[in-house]
Structure 1
Amino acid sequence: MNSAAPDTDDTHSIAAALTGLTEWLQAHPLRYVIEWVIGIDHVRYLLLPWDERLSSEAFCHTLAGALFAQQCAGSDMPFSMYELRFAPLSFGQPRLAALIPSEVVAELIAVARRHGCRSRQITPALGVVWDSLPARVKNDTGMLALVEGQRMLRVAYNGGQIISLSVQPYSNERKPAIPAGVTYLFPSRDMTLSTSGKLAPALAPDDDPRFAYALCGVF
């Protein structure tokens, strides 16, 4: 699987998700620097196969566009309405591309500006979590599972390099909720997973999973 995408039946508006932050910023009228983390719902991923030309961002854009047309036929948004973020290039390996809707990026920047804040960076959740793992995965083969709401992003890796991605439905009611073969889970809710596979202290069912980013030390 060379791509991973959210379901296409929900809108890309994140206004509802920003309500709590907006209220907090209104109550604390100070200037802040905001680092945004974009979850599974708002990002598509494409895995660009190795090519010596992957060092060229223009070539990466062209290849991503071709893969998008091939793998995301019937998408509710055209390729031109996404902003692309590319993972660092590793010789002989696929290169990960994250596609974030331009309207999402614009809305985050606008929210920050309205409250006198600056957006330092806008990063997909996978990138934030993956960047905390290099020392653990560089010589291993396994799978990272990123859970958000009713979705799970499964990321297979080998020798510290991502080799495939896929999105699947997730439910705590399904047994087993976490598929076999998962070596790292984020956020950590499954009590049966070994401690070494949890990237943060296990969350209780009613805990806000957004706290997990701070708990796993990715900032």
Structure 2
Amino acid sequence: MSLSWLDRLTLFIHPQRVVLERQPWRGAPSSQTAEVAPPTPGEADWQPVLAAADALLKTAGQGAALRIIVADHLVRYTLLPWSEMLTGKAARLDMARALLRNALGERAVALDIALDRPSFGKSGIAAGIDRQLLAGLRAAARARRLRLNSVQPRLIAELAAQQTQLNDGWLACLDLGWLTLAGVRDGEISSLRNHRASTTEPAILAGELAGLLAAESATVNGKKVLISASAVAAPKLAGGWETTLVTPVTGGAHA
């Protein structure tokens, strides 16, 4: 009898690469990476990503537990300010839709929006991922009879991994061509930036990150910065920032 149902898989999807990490019931962990082809004319940017993910999942044993982490390139975030008038799930979801629609226009209609768990008196986060991409990932998991336990945006996974050491400070998630910066104040998310980076060159990226930190500094106490760098070199920040490198949750840490 196969014991593959005891294996644990993590699939990291990214516009340029897809990584499948295996933690088998017995034996050493392993990892496979597939490059993602550029979208063809008329093709959505997520379609080649889904094709690469589907191909990797076909190599997985049936019945294993699967966790999917989605690169921030493929996620749209918005802060949900606390309001005692909007505490229920439906009301918070309406707020998230309105904020994303204001930021993205008609593109927001294509998003499947998930909310964080509300905490009384504190702001939260909403994350939107293309619903066709999500549907394709779920279908690929079902086709291999994999037990899909969760689909998480990278930032959400990183915040969960670092919550014990980030009550006041910043978490910077860096990847090829992308920079996500979250500020936490007294345990509450207080600032969020998620956008394309101008470069992967460490010195220039350090200046870009330092500029964002300075612009948002009033929202966070102190100068503690956790840096999770995947596939890029971590920048060195001047100006008194207290930086600590942390291991990315998945997707290939920079050596």
Tell me if 1:173 matches 2:232. no
Matches of 1:32 and 1:23, distance apart in 2? 16
Match of 1:204 in 2: none
Tell me if 1:211 matches 2:238. no
Greater relative CO (CA pairs within 8 A, separation 6+): 1
Q: Which of residues 236, 243, 247 in structure 2 aligns to 1:200?
A: 247
1:51-70 alignment, distance < 5 Å: 51-70=83-102
| Number of residue pairs matched by the alignment | 192
User: Amino acid of the residue matched to residue 98 of structure 1?
Assistant: A
Q: Which of residues 131, 136, 139 in structure 2 aligns to 1:110?
A: 139
1:117-136 alignment, distance < 5 Å: 117-136=146-165
Match of 2:65 in 1: 33
User: Amino acid of the residue matched to residue 70 of structure 2?
Assistant: I
String of CA shifts for 1:106-161, please: whole Å, max 9, x gaps. 010011112221211111111100001222112x2x22111122010111221222
Matches of 1:134 and 1:66, distance apart in 2? 28
RMSD: 2.8
Tell me if 1:161 matches 2:188. yes
Match of 1:148 in 2: 175
Post-superposition shift, 1:66? 1.9
Tell me if 1:71 matches 2:103. yes
Question: Relative to 1, partners in 2 of residues 1:190 and 1:41: Cα closer, same or farther, differing over 3 Å?
Answer: closer
Structure 1 unpaired stretches of 5+ = 1-9, 202-208, 213-219
Matches of 2:51 and 2:164, distance apart in 1? 37
Question: Relative to 1, partners in 2 of residues 1:28 and 1:104: Cα closer, same or farther, differing over 3 Å?
Answer: closer
Matches of 2:186 and 2:53, distance apart in 1? 38
Post-superposition shift, 1:195? 9.5
* TM-score when normalising by structure 2: 0.65
Tell me if 1:87 matches 2:129. no
User: Amino acid of the residue matched to residue 165 of structure 2?
Assistant: R
Post-superposition shift, 1:90? 2.3
Matches of 2:113 and 2:50, distance apart in 1? 22
String of CA shifts for 1:170-216, please: whole Å, max 9, x gaps. 22226231322470111263263699611118xxxxxxx7034xxxx
Of all paired residues, the percent bearing the same amino acid is 23
Match of 1:44 in 2: 76
Contact 2:202 2:236 in 1 (8 A): no
Contact 1:36 1:123 in 2 (8 A): yes
Question: Relative to 1, partners in 2 of residues 1:173 and 1:191: Cα closer, same or farther, differing over 3 Å?
Answer: closer
Matches of 1:78 and 1:101, distance apart in 2? 9
Contact 2:93 2:115 in 1 (8 A): no
Post-superposition shift, 1:39? 1.2
Matches of 2:45 and 2:93, distance apart in 1? 24
Match of 1:184 in 2: 226
User: Amino acid of the residue matched to residue 34 of structure 1?
Assistant: L
Contact 2:203 2:235 in 1 (8 A): no
Which deviates more from structure 2 when the two are superposed, residues 160-169 or residues 56-65? Answer: 160-169
**Helix, strand or coil at the partner of 1:108:** helix
Matches of 1:38 and 1:106, distance apart in 2? 14
